[in-house]
Amino acid sequence: MKDIYIIAYAQNPILADAKAANEVELIMPVVHEVFRQTGLSQKDIDFTCSGSCDYLQGAAFAFVEGLSAIQTNPPIKESHVEMDAAWALYECMLKISSGDTESALIYGFGRSSPGNLDSIISLQTDPYYLSPLWVDRISYAALQANTLLQHGTISHDEMYDAIVESMEFAKSNPNALVSNAPSKEEYVAEQKLSTPLNKFDVAPVSDGASAMIICTKDFAKNLNLDHVKINQVCHNIESSNIGTRDLSTSTSLLDLSTKLNLTNLSVDIAELHSQYSHEIVFLKKLLGLDNTSVNASGGPLSGNVMMAAGLDCIGKTYEYLKSKDVTNGLAHATSGPCLQQNMLLHMERVK
Amino acid sequence: MSEKNKSDMLRAPFKLEYDYERSTGPIIGKFFEGLSNQQILGTKNGDNVYVPAAEFDPITYEHLSEFVELPETGTVKSFTWIDQPRKHHLINKPFAFALIQIDGATSSILHMITNCNESDIEVGSRVKVSWSEEKTETIKDISHFELINE
Amino acid sequence: MSEEKKDHFISPISLDYNYTAGAATTRFLKKVSEGKIVGQKCPKCTAVYVPPRGSCPRCGVATEEEVELVDKGSVESFTIVHIPIPGNPIVPPYVCAMIRLEGANISFLHLIQEIDLKDIRIGMRVEAVWKDKSEWDTTLENIKWFKPSGGDDIDPSEYRFKGPE
């Protein structure tokens, strides 16, 4: 694969309810910001791909409206995935790898506030056996949390500690939506939504948008922005038949970490798309990240813009690698119930 | 933009409704037809038996067509208790979503358990189908599962 | 498969939303509730958008400057609807038209009434027919429909965007 570099990333402050903003008003600031960071304009970009889900805000073809935020005259090469923008990034990487383009703009946006996120997400599951039962996203996650607790893989204390750590990190992230951890007493006393999860265990409903620019090595070198390279990326998905999956582990992520040769990489920092407290604990153990700084941004528990949060994990990893004196970064994006689909990226700061 | 303008933003409630017509095909169709006759059918591939009936083996991807009939009892493999049901939930009193392995099956069915207390359920609990009175040849022909003492 | 056998089922999806208009559309609709039509002008290419979305899709920049327009324009395109659409109270046949207001660079969809269907044509000049002021709200439905206003037709080549002077 060609060497691909990330040269810009921007994220809107995450809001509980972006009242003022339609799609265009959400996307435009982040797109303008990545252009400002690079000195580029839309005309310099060969390919544009976005990630969003129209069901979130209930506006059919909202992604087409979103295009009004970027310059489409003269006409541009463009694509869209009804997924997290991490997968839009993947499409852009393929496009660059094929030799078709030198540079790509990626953006992801989501407004979960207008609708009922828990129910909407259940519509992405099997329409015969699962979605008619309206199994909400928190209950899916809870089934896996209980399985992990039952197997002794994780503990309640570790789940609480993961929340506290995330909130502590979030305090230094100006874009974070929440950064206050409950006391242990508050946490234990809080009404459970779906056992063992209460509202503190669950990433908050969030509105926002993010954008990124990636390019070939030569393109980055010309701009003197050749600092962070995407060394390797891989993704895979497990069966949508949840009753056949082993929720006590993640065969998907174990496979990906083998592909990335993760055990032989000394990962300095990692941003995990962990939308529930138990997922932080579980993923750290599964991926062997005990000695790694994990979710230093506060992670999804501090703000979780659907369809952008995976791209944000990649973007936050990029920001740390760019600004800190560390070498290896790991970014994770996920989709589907109980970590059904996963993407791992190994990113490297190039000296 | 000022804060005042933000709070003045126009909003309107609106409902998005679609009636999707789903074709069931020979495997899922037969499974649903079985449910409407209060029968639990699974598809078989060697030692593996899938309930609800799978069209393809999720591990080997082989096309499945051999059916077996199984009892209406099973074992709880995992569950989550919902004390206060939320929007769209089909049961409006405390219930659990659970992964239930029907006796003789090697996979689990995700469904609901109710008419019990949270403290009564544990992984390994035995359950039995409670059938819906009105059959629609859908997954909802199983109303829910209930705990049994054996 | 025998006829009694069911091979499908209906899967109803019903979701409730609280839709946000966004800043640009909110400003537009609030002016409409006062009987005014206010578009937004692109600072780069000077195109005027009505209804505005807050950006110029041609240039990818925000549109802040507001421009008040008249409620008169012309028919950029039209179709005569003969098919009754469930839930739509208007009785066919009726005219749906893309109305280009004077001074605007895009058109929007509205109805044309008070017209013999065979007279409708591209370039025809039309004007808004407003509901009684007491019924005005933050909706383009304040305009009941457009009707012919007389005068010379617009040459369709005028609709082509020519960019800044």
Q: What is the 3-state secondary structure (H, E, C) of C21-52?
A: CCHHHHHHHHHHCCCCEEEEECCCCCCEECCC
Average pLDDT (B99-124) is: 97
The CATH number given to whatever domain includes residue A31 is 3.40.47.10
Burial C133-146 (b: 16+ CB within 10 A, else e): eeebebeeebbbbb
| β-strand partners of C146 | C112, C128
Residue B108 covered by a domain: yes
Please check whether residues C94 and C136 belong to one and the same domain: yes
Please check whether residues C58 and C87 belong to one and the same domain: no
Q: Which residues of B touch A28 (CB under 8 A)?
A: none
Number of domains in chain A: 1
Say what the pTM is. Answer: 0.92
Min distance A71 CA to chain C CA atoms (Å): 4
Quick check: C21 and B9 CB within 8 A?
Answer: yes
Distance CA B113, CA B57 (A): 27
CA angle A157, A202, C18 (to 5 degrees): 165
pLDDT digits (tens, 9 = 90+) for C116-140: 999 999 999 999 999 999 999 999 9
Under the banding of pLDDT at 50, 70 and 90, the label for residue B18 is confident
Under the banding of pLDDT at 50, 70 and 90, the label for residue C7 is confident
Please check whether residues C101 and C79 belong to one and the same domain: yes
Residue B8 covered by a domain: no
Min distance A337 CA to chain B CA atoms (Å): 13
Residue A147 covered by a domain: no
Under the banding of pLDDT at 50, 70 and 90, the label for residue C84 is confident
What is the residue-level pLDDT of chain A in tens, covering all 351 positions?
A: 789 999 999 999 999 987 767 788 889 999 999 999 999 999 999 999 999 998 888 877 878 888 888 888 889 999 999 999 999 999 999 999 999 999 999 999 998 988 889 888 888 899 999 999 999 999 999 999 999 999 999 999 999 999 999 999 999 999 999 999 999 999 999 999 999 999 999 999 999 999 999 999 999 999 999 999 999 999 999 999 999 999 999 999 999 999 999 999 999 999 999 999 999 999 999 999 988 999 999 999 999 999 999 999 999 999 999 998 899 999 999 999 999 999 999 999 997
- Scan residues 118-137 of A and list those with Cβ closer than 8 Å to C: 119-120, 123, 127, 131-132
Range of the domain at C28: 21-69
Outline where chain C has alpha helix (H). 23-32
Residue A22 covered by a domain: yes
Instruction: Name the amino acid, one letter, at C11.
Output: S
- B21: its two tokens: 């017509």
Question: Touching check for A43 and chain C: CB below 8 Å?
Answer: no
**Residue with structure tokens 């920049």?**
C61
**Contact (CB, 8 A) for A281 and A275:** no
Distance CA A6, CA B100 (A): 45
Pairing verdict, β C65-69 and C37-41: antiparallel
Range of the domain at B122: 24-147
Residue A301 covered by a domain: no
Residue C16 covered by a domain: no
pLDDT digits (tens, 9 = 90+) for C52-77: 988 998 888 999 899 999 999 999 99
Closest by CA to A241, choosing from A343, A125, A148, is: A125
Coil, helix or strand for C127?
Answer: strand
pLDDT digits (tens, 9 = 90+) for C29-48: 999 999 999 999 999 999 99
- A166: its two tokens: 């995330």
Give the pLDDT score at C79.
Answer: 96
Task: Give the chain A residue nearest B3 (alpha carbons).
Answer: A20
**Contact (CB, 8 A) for A79 and A51:** no
- Which other chains touch chain A, taking contact as 3+ CB pairs less than 8 Å apart? B, C
User: Which tops the pLDDT comparison, C12 or A306?
Assistant: A306
Min distance B46 CA to chain A CA atoms (Å): 15
Q: Which residues of A touch B6 (CB under 8 A)?
A: 19-20
Question: Touching check for A28 and chain C: CB below 8 Å?
Answer: yes
Average pLDDT (B82-93) is: 96
Please check whether residues C64 and C77 belong to one and the same domain: no
ipTM: 0.94
Q: Which residues of A touch B79 (CB under 8 A)?
A: 143, 146
Distance CA A185, CA C49 (A): 55
**Contact (CB, 8 A) for C133 and C35:** yes
Number of domains in chain B: 1
Residue C4 covered by a domain: no
Please check whether residues C135 and C79 belong to one and the same domain: yes
Please check whether residues C96 and C54 belong to one and the same domain: no
Range of the domain at A85: 4-115+205-222
Number of domains in chain C: 2
pLDDT digits (tens, 9 = 90+) for A267-326: 999 999 999 999 999 999 999 998 899 999 999 999 999 999 999 999 999 999 999 889
Under the banding of pLDDT at 50, 70 and 90, the label for residue C23 is confident
Give the pLDDT score at A72.
Answer: 86
Give the pLDDT score at B3.
Answer: 38
Give the pLDDT score at A63.
Answer: 82
Q: C-alpha dihedral over A311, A312, A315, A319, to 10 degrees?
A: -170
Please check whether residues C83 and C143 belong to one and the same domain: yes
Q: Which residues of A touch C64 (CB under 8 A)?
A: none
Distance CA B17, CA B147 (A): 36
User: For A252, which DSSP code?
Assistant: H
- Which other chains touch chain C, taking contact as 3+ CB pairs less than 8 Å apart? A, B
Helix axes A137-150, A277-286, angle to 10 degrees: 50
Min distance C85 CA to chain B CA atoms (Å): 16
Residue that terminates a domain, selected from C10, C34, C69:
C69
Give the pLDDT score at B23.
Answer: 93
Q: Which residues of B touch C25 (CB under 8 A)?
A: 10
C62 vs A23, A28, A58: nearest CB = A28
Question: Touching check for A69 and chain C: CB below 8 Å?
Answer: yes
Residue C11 covered by a domain: no
At a CB cut-off of 8 Å and minimum separation 6, what does B1 contact? Answer: A20, C23
